[in-house]
Amino acid sequence: MAPSTPLDSPESLAETLRLMKSEAKTLKDRAISYPSGDEFKILLLIKAAAILQDCLKSIVQHRCHLGREEALCRDQRDTLLEYVRKEVEQSNINYDQYRSEPVKPKKLQKKCKAGEHGERLVPSPP
């Protein structure tokens, strides 16, 4: 493998942080753009946190394996960033599916009980 700029160098670290910040902003903007469905926003933010946790875990494992003197190579860093990009792309696909398949009223009506006079009663929130 060709020598690369170590992650510890200021230039490489700044580039890594810039790229990861950009990906995190994409996830944040996507979560904010949901018109409704707070549970879906929460799931997206949990997924974003899991991505960052996976990236940090990979970096720590790699550094422990190689020792303190060696750093994550550029190609390995790019692999992690590609993983983050794929997760963002998947969240975009999930978002598009979520928007194209709204909850149908029939599903809600089945869960409603009839009142004394036959009217539909909407279950009260917990």
Phi, psi of 68, deg, nearest 5: -65, -25
In a domain, 5, yes or no: no
pTM of the model: 0.33
Total domains, the chain: 1
DSSP state of 116: T
Residue 47 in contact with residue 91, Cβ under 8 Å? Answer: yes
Residue 42 in contact with residue 31, Cβ under 8 Å? Answer: no
Span 96-112, pLDDT tens digits? 777 777 655 554 444 55
Confidence of residue 1 (pLDDT cuts 50, 70, 90): very low
In a domain, 57, yes or no: yes
Residue 92 in contact with residue 103, Cβ under 8 Å? Answer: no
Span 45-59, pLDDT tens digits? 777 777 777 777 766
Q: Which domain holds residue 39?
A: 10-121
**What are the distances in angstroms from CA 90 to CA 5, 31, 73, 86, 100?**
30, 13, 26, 6, 15
CA 41/CA 117 separation, integer angstroms? 38
In a domain, 4, yes or no: no
